[in-house]
Amino acid sequence: MKWHTLAVHAGTEPDPLTGAVMTPVYFTSTYAQEAPGVHKGYEYSRTHNPTRTALETALAQLEGAKHGIAFASGLAATDAILRLLNPGDHVLVSRDLYGGTYRIMRRVFEPWGLKFDFVDTTDPAVVEAAIRPETKMLWIETPSNPLLYISPIAALADLAHAHGIRLVVDNTFATPYLQAPLEMGADIVVHSATKYLGGHSDVVMGAVMLNDDEDAQRLRFIQNAVGAVPGPMDCFLVLRGIKTLPLRMQKHSENAQKISEFLATHPKVSKVYYPGLVTHPQYLLAKQQMRLPGGMISFEVKINSIEDLKNFWKSLQIFTLAESLGGVESLINHPAVMTHASIPETERLALGITPGLLRLSVGIEDADDLVSDLKAALQRL
Ligand SMILES: *Cc1c(COP(=O)(O)O)cnc(C)c1O
């Protein structure tokens, strides 16, 4: 099945009871049993819910995975994956990373006994040098947040497997339409479905897709035992979002390409990070492992202090100043103050998350309107 067909039909069959074309939202916590233990596969909605089952089937199909498992948020999904490890295990992680992933690793799982090293995963030699006998997982984000670095998935999968290490890829920025990590050898894919999979900024959810039966069984056990599950309405919203995923990603990418080219020539912009620009250090790798460069751009403006941005924010008419990303509407974020504030300042600066760094989640509005909005705001700097 080709992508546009898959996105529309994944996980959704007309309802056997009524013929309803759209998956019903099963608002129920429990299910009647004919006799004790005799039921239709559903006992209690923490364990199973038919709307969630439809979504999990769709999620697996999108990533070309055997298993899809939905969680209450992207971080609940991250939490479940890290629980596959044992105290004493070591994890290598991309240095440029979603702030919440950094926080759960450093402040929840480090005290619990896991060890983490944050390294430059764009270079397999750097990763190899950091592997220890107790290294059990390699966790990469590509493209990364907020600096859009690209890590070579196939090369890192080979390296990880040579050392008996699982490769986890956070595929949130790319989505399964733009990048297929499992096909390139990754073991586990994690998503914040809050972002492009949902696509409309109206739901918080996470997802894990994988092929390994043993890890999948353990993750399902954790899903039920810990209970960080999404409700049926949220599952319905993400199922609906998925139907337009390829259409949206094409428009997000087309708009982001135009905006990044505009920013690259602007005198008040000192740096643009976008994998679709030939000046991006991993432009060729991005072209190889991604269908399109996606809708996220970061750029640095020339300012002396954060105060200089005051009029810039006020001028914006279409871009909304907000955290999060991946919705149909364009958002702008100030990583140093907003999404990446949980990373200590010295580490932030060392990474390149400077006070003048701005991150755009480019929506699906008209590209000319978006460029005009930024142009006017940059004039107020
Ligand atoms: C948002 C995000 C997460 C966390 O997901 P939530 O749904 O907010 O819990 C993880 N990784 C990336 C890349 C994200 O953007």
CA distance 253 to 315: 25
| Pocket-testing residue among 71, 75, 338, ligand 1, by greatest number of atoms within 8 A of Cβ | 75
For strands 296-301 and 269-273, give the pairing: antiparallel
Task: Report pLDDT for 342.
Answer: 78
Task: Report pLDDT for 340.
Answer: 85
Instruction: Calculate how far, in angstroms, residue 381's C-alpha sits from the geometric centre of ligand 1.
Output: 30
Q: In CATH, which of 3.90.1150.10, 3.80.10.10, 3.50.50.60, 3.40.50.300 is domain 245-378? A: 3.90.1150.10
- What is the arrangement of strands in the sheet containing 206-210, beginning at the earlier edge strand? 67-71, 206-210, 188-192, 166-170, 135-141, 90-94, 115-119
Residue with the two structure tokens 């764009």: 122
Task: Report pLDDT for 293.
Answer: 98
Residue 291 CB neighbours (<10 A):
17
Instruction: Calculate how far, in angstroms, residue 150's C-alpha sits from the geometric centre of ligand 1.
Output: 17
CA distance 372 to 107: 42
Active site residue 46: yes
For strands 357-361 and 331-333, give the pairing: antiparallel
Residues with Cβ < 8 Å from 252, sequence gap 6 or more? 196, 294, 295, 362, 363, 364
Determine the atom of ligand 1 nearest the C-alpha atom of 325: 15
Per-residue pLDDT of the chain (381 residues; tens, 9 = 90+): 899 999 999 998 899 889 999 999 999 999 999 999 999 999 999 999 999 999 999 999 999 999 999 999 999 999 999 999 999 999 999 999 998 999 999 999 999 999 999 999 999 999 999 999 999 999 999 999 999 999 999 999 999 999 999 999 999 999 999 999 999 999 999 999 999 999 999 999 999 999 999 999 999 999 999 999 999 999 999 999 999 999 999 999 999 999 999 999 999 999 999 999 999 999 999 999 999 999 999 999 999 988 999 999 999 999 999 999 999 999 999 998 998 887 788 988 998 899 999 999 999 999 999 999 999 999 999
Residues with Cβ < 8 Å from 315, sequence gap 6 or more? 376, 377, 379, 380
CA distance 120 to 82: 20
Residue 172 CB neighbours (<10 A):
26
> Which is the catalytic residue, given 31, 42, 46, 103?
46
Q: Residue with the nearest Cα to atom 5 of ligand 1?
A: 74
For residue 359, the cross-strand partners are 298, 333
100 Cβ closer than 6 Å to some ligand 1 atom: yes
96 Cβ closer than 6 Å to some ligand 1 atom: no
Active site residue 369: no
* φ, ψ of residue 242 in degrees (nearest 5): -60, -30
| Domain ranges across the chain | 3-244, 245-378
- What is the arrangement of strands in the sheet containing 320-321, beginning at the earlier edge strand? 269-273, 296-301, 357-361, 331-333, 320-321
Active site residue 195: yes
> Which is the catalytic residue, given 26, 52, 98, 177?
98
Task: Report pLDDT for 171.
Answer: 98
Q: Residue with the nearest Cα to atom 2 of ligand 1?
A: 192
Q: Give yes or no for a contact between 64 and 57, defined as CB atoms under 8 angstroms apart.
A: no
| Pocket-testing residue among 81, 97, 98, ligand 1, by greatest number of atoms within 8 A of Cβ | 98
Q: Give yes or no for a contact between 235 and 49, defined as CB atoms under 8 angstroms apart.
A: yes
| Pocket-testing residue among 140, 169, 194, ligand 1, by greatest number of atoms within 8 A of Cβ | 194
Q: Give yes or no for a contact between 177 and 295, defined as CB atoms under 8 angstroms apart.
A: no
> Which is the catalytic residue, given 195, 248, 348, 359?
195
CA distance 130 to 159: 12
Residues with Cβ < 8 Å from 251, sequence gap 6 or more? 364
Active site residue 158: no
Architecture (CATH level 2) of domain 3-244: 3-Layer(aba) Sandwich (3.40)
234 Cβ closer than 6 Å to some ligand 1 atom: no
* φ, ψ of residue 333 in degrees (nearest 5): -135, 150
* Of 375, 367, 369, 341, residue with least CA distance to 355: 341
